[in-house]
Structure 1
Amino acid sequence: MPPAVADTSIRPPSLAILIAVSWINPLALNIFVPSMPGMIVALDTNAEVVQLTLSLYLGAVAIAQLVLGPLSDMFGRRPVVLAGMALFIVSSLICALAGSVEVLIAGRILQAAGGCAGIVLARSIVRDLFEQEKAASMIGYVTAGMAIAPLFAPAIGGVLDQFFGWRSSFFFVAALGVAVLIAAWFGLSETNMNRGRSSGFARMFDGFAILARYPLFWAHSLTLMLTTGVFFGFLGAAPFISSHVMHLTPSQYGFYFALIGLGYMTGNMFSGRYASRIGTRRLIAIGTVLALAAALVMLAAFLADIVHPIAMFGPMLFIGMANGMVIPATMSGAVSVRPDRAGAASGLAGSLQIGGGAIASYMITTLITTESGEIIALPLAIASTSFATAALIGGIATRFLHREE
């Protein structure tokens, strides 16, 4: 039996379109990282200020998701995606032409706000078209494709910087943005048949108030946030542990990090293939148990003073796989609580995911640094185990709340 579609008159967008509008944001997040040292000299600033182009980018993504989801509930998915891509292109050009670091930071904030429209609304579009189990499967395929961007973006950015300078990365993503905008213009039809039922900007956030009354929404969203928190915490701490404790070179770190991306893609492909067969609840259970088991292996290794790259990156391979299972399932569950508020649910859950991950990253990076400035690895394993345990509890809660409803 084919998957149920919300409205048979809707022309579903291709999977390639959904992946394209989704990966433009993580591509822009990562592609310019190799150019940061050059920006310090070119813009006559310091590393702390240049770092704001990363942290404020993530902050803008978290906040913009709260607005873009409800906007798409009111006005439709298609116009918000197209407007977001147009903003992304313009802001990428602002970054490319920036004469000061202040202009660059402002451009990055706008770039994040525009680019994340695709991430938020690709999930909502999938939920518009398919029932929950099939939606989780499709979200798995979309995020598997999206995972490619952060794997190769730094390498692309490094080559562009070497031959053409740091501004070339922003021109490159602007050109890609134009291509994606053209593809979306012709290939993305409207899928939200419930749009226009709310009026006035202030009422956009009614969806948040409605969703707040559903414990099942919070169970899915917090499980999503906690599982992702394991990964974001690693992202914040791992570069310092790798260089100061394990004495890895940047290229060695890049090699090991690619293993985590492989795990994440594998988990997403597993979700895409099996979510509709085994169900989202079982997928969440498998993923959260796998994440906790992997975190416990890391903790045991560090407690035994086995501070080796395999002791950290090996478990993270499976934690990446667990993220690939849990993220599509919990996001599908969150947006399925109230399908008529799918945009608001996607935005709020995504904002919790990114915001919680940013907090986890900052917190764990602080914990691994002693008062004397020494870097130690054990707090990463302890925090990862704590987050994974909480995520497992959240996953169990989703099962019980499903039964009640």
Structure 2
Amino acid sequence: MIPIAYFIFLAMCSPIALNAMLPALPAIAEQLDIDSSMVQLNYSLYLAALALGQFSVGAVITKLGNRSTILLGISTFIVGGLVALITNSLWLMLLGRILQGIGGAFSMSMARALLVASSGKDRAAQQMGYIVMAIAFSQSIAPLVGSTLNTHIGWQAIFAFSAIQGAILLLFSLKLIKPAFEQPQKLTLSMMLNHYMSLIRQHSFSRYTMANTFIALCFYLFISASPHLTKGLSENNLAYGYWFILISGTFMLGGYMSTLLNKRLSLDQSIQLGNSLCLLGASILLILQISLPTSFASLFLPMSVVTLGRGISQPSYQSAAIGAADKLAGMAAGLIGFLQLSFGAVFAQAVPLMMDLHPSMIAFAILGCTLLAKCYAQNYRNKKIATDHALIFF
């Protein structure tokens, strides 16, 4: 049996590589003499590559098998880190980030797939929580890791750190993942697209998935804007990393609370509670941005309420959406991740344009996303109640 520590380390690599770069973006823009929109591509293209990787990993596994897929993913991740490390060209750096993102998507997906294959469904369900916690933990420490490396060595050290992580993972993977005979299967692009279209046409799946996407966009908007909004607020270069721990910490707390609440409440009730907290935090964030000078506290404290609500609602959103997919549950999970990340990439790239209009536009956008999520979820709930009443009447 493969140790759970391997799966945890495997799942942590990509979130660290993604978020460790955030505190260094202003420094990269200054050193390479580029504007904020261009340097933001470091983050948004990584998200887009993650989305593409999650969209395609199922077909790759079907064709190559588990071992070859994980080795391909980790190798791509390492190559991406090395390409970004050895260049001062923005375009080669972005190529490296794309390769990192695709490899990271394979690694995160395979962490779950290999855990189930190694431990069995029942035991894997008990251990999957460790992977979720590991991802949240890596998101919380990544900006601090990035701030430390950028301050004491330089932003190139962040890419070196990621490449070293990947190399260690590759060695463990070669040792722990044994070759196995796996008959290649045929899954054409048209078959995949037909499955995805059938999911999108399911009203319940599309409603829950879009609401989940809008709630996730609150996080992507904030994480993309916060390094620029907080630039120059403190002489301590590590301050951003310390404050960011609050965001990931409340997300982890919300996830833990969801496991307790879902024992007493229905999925829709948990979703409504989480959405209400998101709306409260977003409203406070906008009020503070309009009425007070920008500070770490005025940004991170209300946003921690938003992420607490997201931690409560997101597991319920995803469980409800996947549950509605029936036999296409695996593809549904991939489609949820693809939509969340692809929308996140587009909105993350729009952040510099929004900030050029006015810094408070980010708070307006976050509030708008919470309202849209609440409307999507509430409309589905109202329609479901009306349908249930009609069935009772007849």
Measure how far apart 1:237 and its partner are. 3.2
Matched, 1:54 2:43: yes
Q: Distance in 2 between matches of 1:17 and 1:197?
A: 28
1:206 pairs with one of 157, 172, 194: 194
1:353 aligns with 2:335: no
Percent identical residues: 25
1:396 aligns to 2:378 (yes or no): yes
Q: In structure 1, what is the equivalent of residue 392 of structure 2? A: none
Unmatched segments (≥5 aa) in structure 1: 1-10
The two structures have a TM-score, normalised by structure 1, of 0.76
Check whether the contact 2:199–2:325 (CA below 8 A) recurs between aligned residues. yes
Provide, for residues 327-352 of structure 1, a one-character-per-residue CA deviation record: whole Å limited to 9, x for no partner. Answer: 33323333333354344322221121
Q: Does 1:386 align with 2:375?
A: no
Looking at structure 2, the residues matched to 142 and 173 of structure 1 have their Cα atoms a distance apart, in angstroms, of 19
Aligned residues: 379
1:84: how far off?
A: 1.3
Partner in structure 1 of residue 203 of structure 2: 215
* Corresponding residue SS for 2:187: coil
Amino acid at match of 2:275: T
Q: 1:238 to 1:34 in 2, by over 3 A?
A: closer
1:290–1:76 distance in 2 versus 1, CA, 3 Å: farther
- CA change 1:140–1:216 in 2 (3 A) is farther
Contact 1:140-1:328 within 8 A present in 2 as well:
no
- Contact persistence 2:60–2:69 (CA under 8 A): yes
CA 1:376–1:52: 2 relative to 1, 3 Å: closer
* 1:95 maps onto 2:84 in alignment: yes
The equivalent of 1:83 in structure 2 is 72
Q: 1:35–1:161: 8 Å Cα contact kept in structure 2?
A: yes
* Cα distance between partner residues in 2 of 1:90 and 1:252: 31
Q: 2-side partners of 1:206 and 1:87: how far apart?
A: 29
Contact 2:44 2:346 in 1 (8 A): no
What does 1:58-69 align with in structure 2 at a 5 Å threshold? 58-69=47-58
For 2:212, the aligned partner's letter is L
Equivalent position of 2:284 in the other structure: 297
Q: Amino acid of the residue matched to residue 212 of structure 1?
A: I
Quick check: 1:71–1:80 contact (8 Å CA) kept in 2?
yes
Output the aligned Cα RMSD. Answer: 3.9
User: Does the CA contact (< 8 Å) of 1:73 and 1:343 recur in 2?
Assistant: no
User: Deviations along 1:75-121, whole A, 9 cap, x unmatched?
Assistant: 65554334212221232233333464433322221111111123345
Instruction: Render the CA deviation track for 1:157-196: whole Å, top value 9, x for unaligned.
Output: 3444555554443332222123334545666799xx9x97
C-alpha separation between the residues in 2 aligned to 1:112 and 1:360? 17
**Superposition deviation, residue 216 in structure 1:** 1.9
Give SS of 2:356's match. coil
Q: Secondary structure at the match of 2:145?
A: helix
Verify the 8 A CA contact 2:274 2:309 in the aligned structure 1. yes
Name the CA shift for 1:364/1:221 in 2 (closer, same or farther; >3 Å): same
Tell me if structure 1 keeps the 8 A contact 2:147–2:241: no
The alpha carbon displacement at 1:146 in A equals: 0.7
The answer for the alignment partner of 1:152 in structure 2 is: 141
State whether structure 2 residue 263 is matched by structure 1 residue 283.
Answer: no
Query: Which whole-Å CA distance do the structure 2 matches of 1:224 and 1:73 have between them?
Result: 28
What are the within-5 Å matches in structure 2 for residues 165-176 of structure 1?
Answer: 165-176=154-165
CA distance in 1, matches of 2:378, 2:277: 14
Change in 2 beyond 3 A, CA 1:333/1:153: same
1:369–1:164 CA distance, 2 compared to 1 (3 A)? closer
Aligned residue in 2 for 1:105: 94
The alpha-carbon deviation at position 394 of structure 1 amounts to 2.5
Partner Cα distance (1:172, 1:70) in 2: 30
2:245 alignment counterpart: 258
The 5 Å alignment of 1:283-362 reads 283-302=270-289, 305-307=291-293, 309=295, 310-338=297-325, 340-362=327-349
Equivalent-residue separation in structure 1 for 2:184 and 2:270 (angstroms): 34
Q: Report Cα offsets for 1:275-311 as digits up to 9, x if no partner.
A: 46645433322211211122223344456x2456444
Q: Quote the residue 1:4 is aligned against.
A: none
Pick closer, same or farther for the CA change 1:16–1:328 going to 2, 3 Å. farther
Paired letter, 1:231: F
382 and 39 in structure 1: CA distance in 2 versus 1, 3 angstrom threshold:
closer
Alignment-derived partner of residue 225 in structure 1? 213
The one-letter code of the counterpart of 1:223 is: A
Structure 2: runs of 5 or more not aligned: 389-394
User: 216-225 vs 93-102, which deviates more?
Assistant: 93-102
DSSP-derived class of the 1:199 partner:
coil
Deviations 1:132-176 (A, max 9, x none): xx96x8766533321222332233334445555544433322221
Q: Is the 8 A contact 1:215 1:401 kept in 2?
A: no
Task: Give me the TM-score of the superposition, normalised by structure 2.
Answer: 0.78
2:8 to 11, 14, 19: 19
Cα distance in structure 2, aligned partners of 1:389 and 1:402:
20
How many angstroms does 1:316 deviate by?
0.8
Distance 1:165 1:363, change over 3 A: closer
